[in-house]
Amino acid sequence: MPPSHDPISTLGSSLGKKVIIKCKRHKTFTGVLKSFNTHLNVLLENVSFTFFERNPEEDNALEEKSEKFNRIVLRGDSIVFIGLK
Amino acid sequence: MPPSHDPISTLGSSLGKKVIIKCKRHKTFTGVLKSFNTHLNVLLENVSFTFFERNPEEDNALEEKSEKFNRIVLRGDSIVFIGLK
Amino acid sequence: MPPSHDPISTLGSSLGKKVIIKCKRHKTFTGVLKSFNTHLNVLLENVSFTFFERNPEEDNALEEKSEKFNRIVLRGDSIVFIGLK
Amino acid sequence: MPPSHDPISTLGSSLGKKVIIKCKRHKTFTGVLKSFNTHLNVLLENVSFTFFERNPEEDNALEEKSEKFNRIVLRGDSIVFIGLK
Amino acid sequence: MPPSHDPISTLGSSLGKKVIIKCKRHKTFTGVLKSFNTHLNVLLENVSFTFFERNPEEDNALEEKSEKFNRIVLRGDSIVFIGLK
Amino acid sequence: MPPSHDPISTLGSSLGKKVIIKCKRHKTFTGVLKSFNTHLNVLLENVSFTFFERNPEEDNALEEKSEKFNRIVLRGDSIVFIGLK
Amino acid sequence: MPPSHDPISTLGSSLGKKVIIKCKRHKTFTGVLKSFNTHLNVLLENVSFTFFERNPEEDNALEEKSEKFNRIVLRGDSIVFIGLK
């Protein structure tokens, strides 16, 4: 392997900063990165979570929704990418 | 790796407390976190489980349903994230 | 890791008792838990299995079906959660 | 872990006997279990395989089909459960 | 584990013989088995490959297609089962 | 194994250069390759991300969208291929 | 295991030659095989990539498209099979 830094260790410089995380199926999380591990499991704080959901009461229309969380542990398996400042 | 705590060990401070767990395919669990392991398998108590299901008797209309369980062992593979207080 | 019991070992107290197992794609199994391993593969007895299937002879209508089995070995990979009494 | 037998080793008592194997996407195999390994890969003999397939010549109607095989090696990854007598 | 032969080693007796391999999404391969490994990756010769594909020029109608290959290396991950004579 | 270079180490010659990365579900990333590891996790800079999304306000019409990011950590699991100059 | 060559090492005799690679979801790559590893990650040169994509501007009609690349690193996970001359 070439003398290249591990991409995941790059996340260390974003600890305490706001990141945006795009997951499978159009789930998006924004929040402050508090910790992570090599599997890309992450701890986020002050999280805004947006996603799409069908609404059974509106003829299953697709609706964009948003929820807030103080802290979440997000599994790396769900993540497509993490956007850094 | 930077000196960052493992995100999963953060769950230790939520033992005995209520958490919300969002899984694939819009399955949501709320309950008291009793234990967990490194694969994010978790034991929950006093669980409320909500999900969507098509109803064959109503022209396959999508319906939101809810079930209660005293205790469940939830596989980490199904989990997208765990929301902590 | 915190001093938390492994969630899977909790299943030991349910050996010989009835459990409900929810799997992917709305498959549900109820039966007596006879054994399990760390991958959450389980042996169930006196099993009732309910699932949904499209019926080609009824315009592919979705139908809820049920089958009985004396004993099954269920793969952990298919499991979302195991509900305990 | 509790003193529980491994669920997969239970299959040993079904060697030489007829089993039913339900796989993902409504594929079903019945046959005589000749061997297996820890990944739940199995060797079956005198196999009947039933499945659903869309028929391009009949407006893509879903059809239940059946095929016979003398012997098959079935991958454990495809299996949901194995029903024993 | 019981004194059962590994199902995959059974493929050894089919080396040089014609096999049929059913994969995910209704892909089927027939050909002469030349080699295999424990992951069920296989080398086939004189291969006939049949599959279904939507045809954009025919209103996306589902069509059964067939292709010939002298030799292919097929990944075990794609395989559901291998039928032996 | 034959005396073949590892395909992933080939990426070393593209460090600091623009690459195009095609991921599952028609997600495409173009940017400057800053680092990578054996799992094909990559760090990209000056990233343009294009994808398709259904628009709930336009009858769920499929829309091509584009977003810019200064830096992203992209998980190898999502990647189909990386195109090099 | 029987005295069978590993199927993947067979690719060694195709280094420098044209191969066709069929991936999941009807993606096809043709190009010259430059290197590979045990995970079936491959380096291809002079690549023609064909795939199907819905066109939002044409009522989401399915369209066959083709793109050229000088060199790509293709992940083994995406591959169904590699056709050799």
Report ipTM for this prediction.
Answer: 0.91
Number of domains making up chain B: 1
Contact F47, F33 (CB under 8 A): no
Model confidence at D10, pLDDT cuts 50, 70, 90, reads very high
CATH number at residue G32: 2.30.30.100
Asked whether residue E1 is domain-assigned, the answer is: no
Q: How confident is the model at residue E4 (pLDDT cuts 50, 70, 90)?
A: low
Alpha helices in D1-71 (DSSP H): none
Q: How far is G57 from chain F (nearest CA, A)?
A: 9
Predicted pLDDT of residue D2: 45
Show the tokens assigned to C6: 């492994």
E50, amino acid identity: T
Asked, for residue B7, whether it belongs to a domain, the answer is no
State whether D75 and E81 contact (CB < 8 Å): yes
A49 domain-assigned: yes
CA pair distance B16, C2, nearest whole angstrom: 13
Please indicate whether, in this complex, the C-beta atoms of E4 and D42 are within 8 angstroms of each other.
no
- Residue A1 maps to a domain: no
Residues of chain F in contact with residue A76, where contact means CB-CB under 8 angstroms, are: 75
Q: Using the beta-carbon criterion (under 8 Å), do C71 and D7 form an inter-chain contact?
A: no
Say if CB D69 and CB D45 are below 8 A apart. Answer: no
Q: Please check the confidence at residue A52 and state whether its pLDDT lies above 60.
A: yes
Q: Which two tokens stand for residue C49?
A: 């299995």
A61-83 burial, b at 16+ Cβ within 10 Å, e below that, comes to ebeeeeeebebbbbbbbbbbbbb
Rounded Cα gap, residues E57 and D2, in angstroms: 60
Q: Which residues of chain F have pLDDT under 70?
A: 1-4
CB neighbour class for A32 (10 Å; exposed up to 12, middle 13-18, buried from 19): middle
Domain residues for C21? 7-83
Residues A6-49 pLDDT 10s: 999 999 999 999 999 999 999 999 999 999 999 999 999 999 99
Instruction: Report CA torsion sign: E20, E21, E24, E28.
Output: negative
Test D63 with C56 for CB contact under 8 angstroms.
yes
What are D15-42's pLDDT values in tens digits? 999 999 999 999 999 999 999 999 999 9
| Contacts of residue B1, Cβ cutoff 8 Å, sequence gap at least 6 | A8, A9, A12, A37, A38
Q: Which residues pair with B82 in a beta bridge?
A: A73, B21
The answer as to whether G25 is a domain residue is yes
Measured between CA atoms, the residue of chain C closest to residue D19 is C72
DSSP code at position A17: S
* Distance of residue G24 Cα from the nearest chain F Cα, in angstroms: 10
Rounded distance, CA G41 to CA G28, Å? 15
Confidence of residue E1 (pLDDT cuts 50, 70, 90): very low
Classify residue F18: in a domain, yes or no.
yes
Region C3-16 average pLDDT: 88
Residue D71, in any domain of the structure: yes
**Of A34, A36, A74, which is closest to B81 when you measure between CB atoms?**
A74
CA A16 – CA A34 distance, rounded (Å): 6
Q: Kindly report the length of chain B.
A: 85
Q: Is residue D1 part of a domain?
A: no
All residue ranges of chain B with pLDDT < 50 are 1-3
In the DSSP assignment, the letter for residue A78 is: G
